[in-house]
Amino acid sequence: MTWLTRGGVIAAGAVGVGVTWGLGWPGLIVLAAFLLSGSLLTQFAEHRAPSRTGRQVLANGGVALVAAVAGAWPAAAGAIAAAAADTWATEIGAFSPFPPRLITSWRRVARGTSGGITALGTLGAAAGAVTIAWLTQALAPKGMAPLFPIVASAGIIGMLADSLLGATLQGKFECPACDARFERGNTICHEPVLLTRGLGWLDNDGVNFAATLVGAAVGLVGSRLSRP
């Protein structure tokens, strides 16, 4: 069972070492819970191993790595919760009996469209965020502000930010010959694809990175506001 490419293994190892160095074994357990649950859900939903690249691993775990090295539990947990919420939303939402709706206009869109959400996927996102929040509350050092509501909120807000960016700024490309749609500009269908909407440099990995950054910010700000 191969869940990571060679580059993915190296990136995951770097993230794991950094998180362990900054937050200890409890932080590694929280990170591992996300990586394991996300990979299992992807394999279950898509009937194949995810085979994530180093770029994908860093897009989901890079912010948590930096926050952990800085010793910021709320920020690291918020980033992980956002990544978990987005992954759970995508994989659980794939089983929705109803088509997704675009978060900005609420019109129906094809399955797999960036920015599309479903009720089942949203419930999955909440479950992912709550799972990471519960683990964080159980494993974080004593004496910190209650992290469960902060981390759960960070995960859900990060997932919503991911959907919003996917619907508005993420680059969308089309083949000029057959109108097939893609999310990466380096694709060649009948001809090289052309940018039709969004920012050409902002792909799904960039959106995931931004979502975890939002989750980290919510976790950090929330923890500071909750101090007496």
Average pLDDT over residues 103-124: 92
Please check whether residue 210 lies inside any domain of the structure: yes
Which amino acid belongs to residue 97? P
Q: Is the pLDDT of residue 177 over 70?
A: yes
Q: What is the mean pLDDT of residues 32-47?
A: 89
Q: Kindly state whether residue 153 falls inside one of the protein's structural domains.
A: yes
The model's pTM is 0.92
Neighbours of 134 (CB within 10 A): 16
- Domains in the chain: how many in total? 1
Does residue 194 lie in a domain region? Answer: no
In a domain, 180, yes or no: no
Q: Is the distance from CB of 211 to CB of 169 less than 8 angstroms?
A: no
Please report, for residues 3, 11, 46, 119, the alpha-carbon distance to residue 43 in angstroms, rounded to integers and kept in the order given: 9, 20, 5, 21
Residue 113 domain-assigned?
Answer: yes
End-to-end CA distance of the chain: 48
Spatial separation of the C-alpha atoms in residues 68 and 49, rounded to whole Å: 28
State the pLDDT at residue 1.
47
Q: Which residue has the tokens 């898509």?
A: 46
Burial per residue of 65-83, b for 16 or more beta-carbon CB atoms within 10 angstroms, e otherwise:
bbbbeeebbbbbbbbbbbb
The answer as to whether 66 is a domain residue is yes
Residue 72 resides in a domain = yes
- Do the beta carbons of residue 166 and residue 196 sit within 8 Å? no
Which residue segment(s) compose the domain that 143 sits in?
A: 6-167+203-225
Query: Over the stretch 49-79, which tens digit does the pLDDT of each residue have?
Result: 678 899 999 999 999 999 999 999 999 999 9
